[in-house]
Structure 1
Amino acid sequence: MANPWTTRTSMEAVPHQDNDSFRSEKKEGEAEVQIVEDVGSSIYGCDRTRRTLKNRHIQLIGLGGTIGTALFVQIGSGLATGGPASLFLAFTIWCTFVLAVNNCLSEMVTWIPVSSPFVRFADRFVDPALGFCTGVNFFVFEAILIPFEVVAFNIVLHFWTDKIPVVAVICIVLLAYTLLNLFAVKHFGESEFWLALGKVVLATGVILFTFVTMVGGNPIHDVYGFRNWDPSKVPGAPFAEYIKEGSLGRFLGFLACLIQASFTIAGPDYVSMAAGEAQAPRTTMPRAFQGTFFRLAAFFILGSLCVGIVVPYNDPDLLDAISNAHPGAGSSPYVIAMIHLGIPVLPHIVNALILTAVFSAGNSYVFCASRTLFGLALEGKAPRFLTRCTASGVPIYCVGVTLAISLLSFLQVSNNSAVVLQWFINLVTASQLLNYAIISFTYIRFHRALKVQGISRDTLPHKSFWQPFCAYYAFTGTLIMAFVGGYIVFVPGHWDVPSFLFSYAMIGIIPVLFVYWKIRYRSSWQKLATMTFFERERMIIDQYEEEIKS
């Protein structure tokens, strides 16, 4: 059955075709570039976006989508559950999986820097049905995180006052997202650069705060060092028991921390979403992906270590803040430590920076969600009107649909904020893990196709290390964690139907979407020997790179 969304007039660019028609068009050589240019796509890409994002923009967009309240506030619940050692080990181990995903994406995206890359890679390198699943999954993940951050913004604001009406806060934030995402992409990049810079300041600041105060640089001159890791000073440290006692309890505590790390740590997928709008992508994108390693090490690994240093896992104030959902920075382990050490001003500075971090994360999600929907439309898996862009290269209808979904933020008006936040978290936790598993599997197919077709990886703009081991490692780990994420409901006495449904909803939905597309459109599994690698798009990018060098 033909896909009704891919029907186009002869004067429109056709971003995706089957292999036969693609090869037929490929014979025209330079003429096909002219065809693309005739429909207004120009050398900037057949998807009509504009390459205006600089390296510094992309680096900070990657940070904008990864560093939020989870690293500064919600991380306290992981500390209380598993203890400082479990938290540190879990974050360190999970960083290796994300780094493996980064290696997979970096090699593919730097060679083929197109809009919504990994969604379209799943289509071309595996099966159009998987591309459809990937796009829907990532779009839902990103779109749902927008109201999550809007609700979080209101909670952080309550650290100072609850006098501002919830409706007013939601409207102001959504209006700001609209303005930042509907103008030229370069304005979004510039705004995100400065907003995300605040996150870097905050993440660096709390790390410095930890090392200065632990050696006695605090008002009460307490040289506490690694006291909170010492079982003789803090009973049960450094591995806390969770649900059960003994070794099983400590393992469950570590597992809870690993699940939190899998939700908190991200990065390469956000960087890749800017590929279609990056200046000089063959130069810019490798640098952006290489920076992911340093971001993981500096902010997530060191951050998880610092949290376990500044406050004990069983601190009464920390447990009270978690159980009573103290607003904003009030639940942050760092703020609790500042109060204990008699530092009255820093909590307000931390809360202000967390507020900008939350706003920046939501802004990044609008960008990524709209580009994912745009990628689906380019591949004929969403209505074609979504491919239309403004003169400045913004996919306006995709942004509009994304912002419409963000209206779910108004659920907070009639429900408890903590309840609404948990709804959103439960719904999307498995989505991120499934997305990483799909990216890894897509790379495995990509790697095999290069070998079958005799294309040396040494000829690519960027060759990642330890491949294909990284792809298999990431695929195995992320897929297992997607199923383990809701394990708590299977522990005797903890069964909860809503938690089970939210935790495993996307795991059940994705196979249904895959089967639906396979049956309805009779899509075929891509053959390694005949697999194409976006030849037309690469030709346009090559021409663009030549233009900017001359």
Structure 2
Amino acid sequence: MASPSNGAGTKHGYGLEVSRDDSPDLEQPRRAGGHGVVDDDHQGDFVTLYEERDLSRGLHQRHVSLIALAGAIGTGLFLGLGSSIQTGGPLGALLGYATIGLIVCAVQFALGEVTALLPVTGSFVRHAEFLVDPALGFAIGYNIVYGNWLSVPSEISAICVLFEYWTDINASVWIVLTIVVTFVVGISLIRIYGEVEFFFAILKILLIIFLIILGLVINLGGIPGHPRIGFRYWKTPGPFVEYIAAGRWGQFLGYWAVMTNAVFSFAGVESVAMAAAETRNPRRAIPNACKRVFARVSLFYILAVLIVGMLVASDDPRLNDESGTAAQSPFVIAASAAGIKAIPSVVNAILITSAWSSSNQALLAGTRVLYSLALKGQAPRVLLRTTSWGIPYVCVLIQTAFMFLAFMSLSSGALTVFYWFVDLVAAGVLISWITILLNHQRLMMAMKKQDLPLERLPWHNGWTVYSTPVALFFCVVILFTAGFAVFTTGNWSSSSFVSSYLDIPLVLVAFLAWKFFKKTRMVTLADIPLREALDAVERSPEAPEPEREGWKKWVNVLWD
């Protein structure tokens, strides 16, 4: 398998690049996939011939929609809501999640608009090079890669903790089994990955709907022998919780602390476009997924926060359970209080599938970003090697090696250190969102600079011109205030400070280092080749999806 050279090339399709390498397996310039030719060099900023030829477009609309849904709905929803209620109170938590939900909406629509124009592997990492600066793509790319290298073993460690709820079997058994199964899914056809995530997402959706309905039944007194609760806990102990400070300021800080926690609950929605070059009709499928995933995730989270705030008091001592199993879920606490004994095991089982689903998604995101970095000459060329069925297997093997860090969970001391390292990359979620919004803002500015009407974009919503800068401002503010508690009297913690802020200088150092060694410059708005990208879109219209009929039309409402 040959790799692209650092020299000039010729583009095909969405701007497909043929390297002028002497490797015999590269074909001469031709039409790839039936698309028109773009004779210019952007060094892989458009979809390259390698993606068109070596990757398989095995993901459908339903896969893409539910991959993002599966990634965003997990322990943050099933376990984390109790902590949010404790910190901000029922109303503070509701407002915090609603605020982040609006920011996620702006992020998703910004991502959808840029991806519809540039449906490339690596998503916003490659977009950053095209619209901002190659150094930014390098820095963000490696930030995502090492974040995913650590997140997979952390999810495997979580699975071990969850199995301890039922059995005392040595955790190493679960670690080995999870590594093997995760690797098998990661190295298999992309269609198999899509079907696995599709199945898990359906499980999560059904469980959430069930828990919300069950919560309403318990709250309204539908369980024999248990009185109606209503909004009792909104009155006592109250709708807000004072956090660190007293009075209104303390209540605001509680709300703000919930908002920073909510960011990480929504993490994963941005991965919807990571495998754009492996998606059928990506210019239509991914924007649709961005729009619909936001609506579903926001609806589930807002309803769940509302129900939990009605079921469990913010000062309930049972919320202090730190077992990491279903026992600490506020849904389980409410169900147990109502005498329903089967719920804990059901929730624990879904949590295990959620953790494994998250590890699968981290494997996909990490390997595709690493592959995209190799396309740009920012990673070793050997990473471009793919299987005959279109999987970058060298990238998968490297990330699989990092899964064995999960064996650190066998030592409690090592586990503490390991999770401290995992916390170091938590800010990467916000940095990714900031990059997506910055890419979109630059696209809007370049369209204006080059006198191109926004209506020429494959997918555009008029209000994103305003929502993007507002969301970008809030993301930057939240990023720099995520660890505000350590700056208050008596709350200083070196580990908390480092875990909240170290990722910022790491990204800056990577950005400046690549800029210094490669002498990169910020792309001027006038020089961004938007006309070529727009011309490629018009030359290559995607075929419309066939109309669904009968029962398929009603089932498709879950993802269409």
The match for 1:185 is 190
1:2-22 per-position Cα deviation (integer Å, ceiling 9, x unaligned): xx995479999997799xxxx
The match for 1:21 is none
Question: How many pairs does the alignment contain?
Answer: 525
The match for 2:411 is 414
More deviation in 262-271 or 494-503?
A: 262-271
- Residues 11 and 107 from structure 1, CA distance in 2 versus in 1: closer, same or farther, beyond 3 angstroms? closer
1:91-128 per-position Cα deviation (integer Å, ceiling 9, x unaligned): 00111111111111111111221111200010011110
Question: 1:353-364 residue pairs with structure 2 within 5 A?
Answer: 353-364=350-361
Please say if residues 43 and 544 of structure 1, whose CA atoms lie closer than 8 Å, have aligned partners that are also in contact: no
Please say if residues 85 and 314 of structure 2, whose CA atoms lie closer than 8 Å, have aligned partners that are also in contact: yes
Question: Aligned with 1:115: secondary structure?
Answer: coil
- Letter of the 2:142 counterpart: V
1:507-545 per-position Cα deviation (integer Å, ceiling 9, x unaligned): 111111111011100012111112124948984995584
- Residues 244 and 547 from structure 1, CA distance in 2 versus in 1: closer, same or farther, beyond 3 angstroms? closer
The match for 2:556 is none
Structure 1 position 222 matched with structure 2 position 219: no
1:303-339 per-position Cα deviation (integer Å, ceiling 9, x unaligned): 21122111111112223x1xxx224101101111111
The match for 1:431 is 428
The match for 1:488 is 485
- Letter of the 1:198 counterpart: L
The match for 1:120 is 126
- Letter of the 1:307 counterpart: V
Please say if residues 67 and 198 of structure 2, whose CA atoms lie closer than 8 Å, have aligned partners that are also in contact: yes
CA distance in 2, matches of 1:439, 1:15: 23
CA distance in 1, matches of 2:232, 2:413: 37
The match for 2:553 is none
Question: 1:351-390 residue pairs with structure 2 within 5 A?
Answer: 351-390=348-387
Question: Aligned with 2:228: secondary structure?
Answer: coil
- Letter of the 1:347 counterpart: P
CA distance in 2, matches of 1:27, 1:361: 38
CA distance in 2, matches of 1:306, 1:405: 39
CA distance in 1, matches of 2:518, 2:305: 47
CA distance in 1, matches of 2:444, 2:511: 23
Please say if residues 180 and 188 of structure 1, whose CA atoms lie closer than 8 Å, have aligned partners that are also in contact: yes
Which one scores higher on RCO, CA 8 angstroms, separation ≥ 6? Answer: 1
The match for 1:53 is 59
- Residues 534 and 505 from structure 1, CA distance in 2 versus in 1: closer, same or farther, beyond 3 angstroms? farther
The match for 1:132 is 138
Question: Aligned with 1:80: secondary structure?
Answer: helix
- Letter of the 1:372 counterpart: V
The match for 2:346 is 349
Question: Aligned with 1:517: secondary structure?
Answer: helix
CA distance in 1, matches of 2:18, 2:476: 30
The match for 1:338 is 335
Q: Which residue among 467, 471, 481 is the counterpart of 1:470? A: 467
Please say if residues 112 and 538 of structure 1, whose CA atoms lie closer than 8 Å, have aligned partners that are also in contact: no
CA distance in 2, matches of 1:46, 1:155: 41
Shift in Å at residue 156 of structure 1?
1.4
Please say if residues 274 and 365 of structure 2, whose CA atoms lie closer than 8 Å, have aligned partners that are also in contact: yes
CA distance in 2, matches of 1:211, 1:405: 43
* Percent identity for Structure 1 against Structure 2: 33
Question: 1:64-463 residue pairs with structure 2 within 5 A?
Answer: 64-161=70-167, 163-230=168-235, 234-235=236-237, 237-319=238-320, 321=321, 325-415=322-412, 419=416, 422-463=419-460
Shift in Å at residue 197 of structure 1?
1.5
Shift in Å at residue 206 of structure 1?
1.3
- Letter of the 1:100 counterpart: A
Stretches of structure 1 that go unaligned for 5 or more consecutive residues are 19-24, 36-40
- Letter of the 2:137 counterpart: G
The match for 1:22 is none
Please say if residues 142 and 365 of structure 1, whose CA atoms lie closer than 8 Å, have aligned partners that are also in contact: yes
- Residues 536 and 5 from structure 1, CA distance in 2 versus in 1: closer, same or farther, beyond 3 angstroms? same
- Letter of the 1:528 counterpart: L
1:135-183 per-position Cα deviation (integer Å, ceiling 9, x unaligned): 112222333221221111111111112x121111111111111000101
1:470-510 per-position Cα deviation (integer Å, ceiling 9, x unaligned): 21112111111111111121111111212211211111111
Shift in Å at residue 44 of structure 1?
8.9
CA distance in 1, matches of 2:365, 2:79: 24
Question: Aligned with 1:429: secondary structure?
Answer: coil
Question: Aligned with 1:529: secondary structure?
Answer: helix
CA distance in 1, matches of 2:448, 2:153: 44
Stretches of structure 2 that go unaligned for 5 or more consecutive residues are 20-28, 42-46, 547-560
CA distance in 2, matches of 1:249, 1:536: 50
1:202-231 per-position Cα deviation (integer Å, ceiling 9, x unaligned): 22121111112211112423211111111x
Question: Aligned with 1:152: secondary structure?
Answer: helix
- Letter of the 2:225 counterpart: I
More deviation in 417-426 or 484-493?
A: 417-426
- Residues 132 and 6 from structure 1, CA distance in 2 versus in 1: closer, same or farther, beyond 3 angstroms? farther
- Residues 424 and 67 from structure 1, CA distance in 2 versus in 1: closer, same or farther, beyond 3 angstroms? farther
Question: Aligned with 1:202: secondary structure?
Answer: helix
1:386-443 per-position Cα deviation (integer Å, ceiling 9, x unaligned): 1221111111111122222222212211125973674255212211111111111111
TM-score when normalising by structure 2: 0.87
Shift in Å at residue 50 of structure 1?
1.2
Please say if residues 45 and 541 of structure 1, whose CA atoms lie closer than 8 Å, have aligned partners that are also in contact: no
- Letter of the 1:264 counterpart: S
Computed over aligned residues only, the root mean square deviation of the Cα atoms, in angstroms, reads 3.1
- Residues 191 and 365 from structure 1, CA distance in 2 versus in 1: closer, same or farther, beyond 3 angstroms? same
